[in-house]
Structure 1
Amino acid sequence: MTFMTSFDTTLLDAVKWAFTTRRVNRADVQSFSTDLGAASAGDLLLCRIVEIGQHKKIQLADRRNSTSYPGDLVVLCLADRYAPDQFQARAEIGSDFIHLAASGGVAGTVEAAHARMDEPTLLKPLALLINGDGRIMNVGDYALDSRPRNETATVIGVFGASMNSGKTTAASSLAHGLKSAGYKVAGVKATGTGAFGDFNSFEDAGVPVSDFTDVGMATTYRQPMERIEEGFNTLVAAAAEQGAEVIVVEIADGVFQQETRAVLQGKAIRDRLDGILFAAPDALSALGSVIVLDWHGLSPFAISGMVSCSPLAATEAEEVTGLPILSREDLWDPAVIAEHVEPLMRNRQMQEVA
């Protein structure tokens, strides 16, 4: 490992720390390493912004946007990214320059991009951050302690047909409606790319929230399914420890994305869900969602998302799926919660069995 010969701690005062680093104790940084070939997913990477491209702002650890300027120093996580509407990127430093793959703080080498995207913001990787033990610092070092699977809280999964289908609005609206109905609620983002949008959306709905960055992953793309499942169990259990009776879990991207498909095909997460709300952009996607979930022996209790914004599209979707189409305003309503969600509650099911 190659270390920079001098380390000026005042350098860190001018650095922008991205959202993906939010759990990192910055006082742990004791040195730098210029051995960039040793980097792996989740490692903390000091970069200089060279040229502004698609992402013109960095989402900071304190959950605000910071306008980027050429020459800015930023601490990001080397990580993979999967975003059909934006970039696919690999956690790899293959040349003198890499890319800002996500404004929440994901750096990597962009492999593919949506046609509407500008060139990715260009970064010069400078060094890896080193702690007092001489090890490369990784977000995994700051993960919550692993917890066993919780069996008491009700868990509602929110899936979507694709990116931008309305999952986050559906999930946070459901959480808000459950809280309005008198439940102790928590939000969890179990998969995806580190960013504060989903995080803030749950908080705006009035519920505590955690996500995969709390269990040591800057993104879940290309992470082993066992690690994602362990993270899911830990996040659900931690939320229950804090008093949550109902936990709304958002699963990122669409049902054909690699990790989401694996979640549906596996049992560890799928069998822990007490109900599913599905977000779809249109009636055809709503019908497709019902078919895909049926392949896995699942059925959503309702459809929400962008399709619910159009009365005509909602009518079409309801006709072809036979399921209720719930807008965000519907999900806010305790009466709707009582009709569609309360029958899924674990405590109610146990009482009925008894």
Structure 2
Amino acid sequence: MSVPTGQIDTIAANPVRAIGVPSGTVLAPTRLRRAKKAYTTRSVAARIDGSPRGYTLLDGPDVTPRPGDVVLARIEEIGMHTRLESPVSRRQTLFVGDEVLVAYGHRYAPDQFEAEVPGDLRPVHLVAAGGVAALATAKHARVADPTAVRPLGLLADAHGVVNLDRFAPRRLGAETAPHRTGGRPTVIGVLGTSMNSGKSTTVASLIRGLVRSGLRVTAGKATGTGAGGDPNGFADAGASQVLDFTDFGFPTTFRLAHEQVRAILLSLIDELSVPGIDVVVVEIADGLYQHETSNLVADPVFPRVVDRVVFAADGAAGAVGGVGLLRERGVPVTAVSGVLTSAPLAMREARSVLDVPVIETAALREPDVVRAVL
């Protein structure tokens, strides 16, 4: 009987059971180093790079994963995601048989998948390129089936199961709104009608325009699914510091309690409001009717900590509806941008109804335009 290459080290350390990964299996350092690590696991990967010894795999019918748990899994079938984003955001090509270190997490992505963390170590899917494992329960008709993975066991060390929150470089602060003082930076929130409505591009353009205006800017992403593209894009645009929810130990924010989502927003703004910063730009993922986003925007604390909002829309009707909904909740909208601004007719429609500026995303990179937004 042939043995998968990825199991050779385990067999050497555990000759009693030649096939499979028994509970408490000691992970050989060479095997752990060889596994492809995901962006979501970057804080854990850094520890492993420094010292790969002392880790085990936990499996069996009594093992119940929870969001944030790090799992060693084997790629069974390539589907939608053909690459895995590394801790430094390099796209690693995936092959059947690869062993990968990813994190369990629920996912909400209308253009891709809805997925949930199962109650056991059954076969699941890679539902995000940043390294999120979950069981896909729905998908968009235009995307391929998700990449199939088989969990081999939860990663554990001397302190128990390795969860991202234990290794996170940042900690959530008190769930109270930070007190505003004269020296506190302006906070601009970017929200949108939906996934892929142009929020991240809007954030990057705002950052660029603000920096070109001579202002000092930090940026963050408070909700969404862990991936390096947006934070790296914000840094490329000129933000002096960038943080997101993954820095606080969350692979995704879907299905988090509202108190946790609020704490992430408040902690993010607080961490980014360092001395000398003029503006903090924060992205809120997904659309206004997504559960976590809806609850966050409806929370009275939101307009207390976010000074103004630039709303990204994918069409005129969405722009009008979004601005109206935000105003009903006391959220100040200062401009509309996003995907709709790539279509002159959509911009004309929105401008005919809205009483706030509708600004082409690229124009936000111009100092005079972005200063008008402020």
What TM-score do the two structures reach when normalised by structure 1? 0.92
> What secondary structure is seen at the aligned counterpart in 2 of 1:241?
coil
Mapped partners of 1:15, 1:164: distance in 2: 31
Task: Tell me by how many angstroms 1:279 deviates.
Answer: 0.2
Mapped pair 1:75 → 2:101 = yes
Matched, 1:196 2:228: yes
Are the structure 2 counterparts of residues 242 and 22 from structure 1 closer, same or farther at C-alpha, using a change threshold of 3 Å? farther
- State the Cα deviation string for residues 101-136 of structure 1 (Å, max 9, x = none): 111111011111111121110001001111222x10
By how many angstroms is 1:236 displaced? 1.4
Q: What are the Cα deviations for residues 254-298 of structure 1, in whole angstroms up to 9, with x where unaligned?
A: 000011001111123342110000000111111111221122122
Structure 2 residue aligned with 1:20:
40
Q: Is the aligned partner of 1:183 residue 2:215?
A: yes
User: Where does residue 10 of structure 2 map in the other structure?
Assistant: none
Q: Distance in 2 between matches of 1:90 and 1:146?
A: 24
- Aligned match of 1:245: 278
Measured in 1, the distance between the counterparts of 2:372 and 2:33 equals 53
Quote the Cα distance in structure 1 between the aligned partners of 2:152 and 2:292: 31
* 1:244 Cα deviation from its structure 2 partner: 2.6
Cα distance in structure 2, aligned partners of 1:334 and 1:306: 21
Deviation at 1:85, TM superposition (A): 0.7
Give the Å deviation of 1:95: 6.1
Question: Counterpart amino acid of 1:112?
Answer: A
Q: CA deviation at 1:243?
A: 4.0
Residue by residue, what CA displacement relative to the aligned partner does 1:16-44 show, whole Å, maximum 9, x if unpaired?
11111112222375222114632111100
In structure 2, the partner of 1:350 is none
Q: Check conservation: 1:78, 1:92, Cα contact below 8 A.
A: no
Within the alignment, does 1:166 sit opposite 2:186 as a pair? no
CA distance in 2, matches of 1:312, 1:185: 33
**Greater alpha carbon shift after TM alignment, 92-101 vs 254-263:** 92-101
Displacement of 1:146 in angstroms is 3.1
Correspondence for 2:243: 210
Contact 2:337/2:360 (8 A) holds in 1: yes
Shift of 1:299: 3.5
CA distance in 2, matches of 1:185, 1:110: 37
User: What's the counterpart of residue 56 of structure 2?
Assistant: 31
Task: Give the direction of change, closer, same or farther, for the CA distance of 1:163–1:110 in structure 2 (3 Å limit).
Answer: same
Q: Deviations over 1:68-104 (max 9, x none)?
A: 1001111111000001110000011556311011111
Match of 1:141 in 2: 166
Query: 2:135, 2:58 → 1: CA distance?
Result: 20
Residue identity matched to 1:13: R
| C-alpha separation in 2, matches of 1:145 and 1:290 | 33
For the residue of structure 2 that corresponds to 1:22, the secondary structure is helix
> What CA distance in whole angstroms lies between the structure 1 residues aligned with 2:190 and 2:86?
26
Instruction: Indicate the RMSD between aligned Cα atoms, in angstroms.
Output: 1.6
CA distance in 2, matches of 1:242, 1:298: 26
Counterpart check, 1:281 vs 2:314: yes
The one-letter code of the counterpart of 1:140 is D
Write the distance in 1 (CA, Å) between the matches of 2:277 and 2:268. Answer: 11
Do 2:210 and 2:371's aligned partners in 1 also have CA atoms closer than 8 Å? Answer: no
Task: Answer yes or no: is the 8 Å Cα contact 1:263–1:270 preserved in 2.
Answer: no
Identity across the alignment (%): 38
Q: What is the DSSP-based 3-state SS (H/G/I as helix, E as strand, rest coil) of the residue aligned with 1:322?
A: coil
Which of 45, 57, 65 is matched with 2:71 structurally? 45
Task: Give the 3-state SS of the residue equivalent to 2:103 in structure 1.
Answer: strand
Q: Is the 8 A contact 2:108 2:114 kept in 1?
A: yes
Q: Which amino acid aligns with 1:298?
A: V
* Residue correspondences, number: 339
Query: TM-score, length-normalised on structure 2?
Result: 0.87
Gaps of 5+ in 2: 1-21
Corresponding residue for 2:269? 236
- 2:117 corresponds, among 91, 109, 119, to 91
Shift of 1:242: 6.2
Q: Structure 2 vs 1, CA of residues 5 and 293 (structure 1 numbering), >3 Å: closer, same or farther? A: closer
Corresponding residue SS for 1:11? helix
Alpha-carbon distance in 2 for matches of 1:248, 1:5: 45
Measure, in 1, the Cα distance between the counterparts of 2:213 and 2:151.
Answer: 49
CA distance in 2: counterparts of 1:3 and 1:95, whole angstroms: 12
Distance 1:306 1:245 in 2: 27
Q: Which has the larger radius of gyration?
A: 2
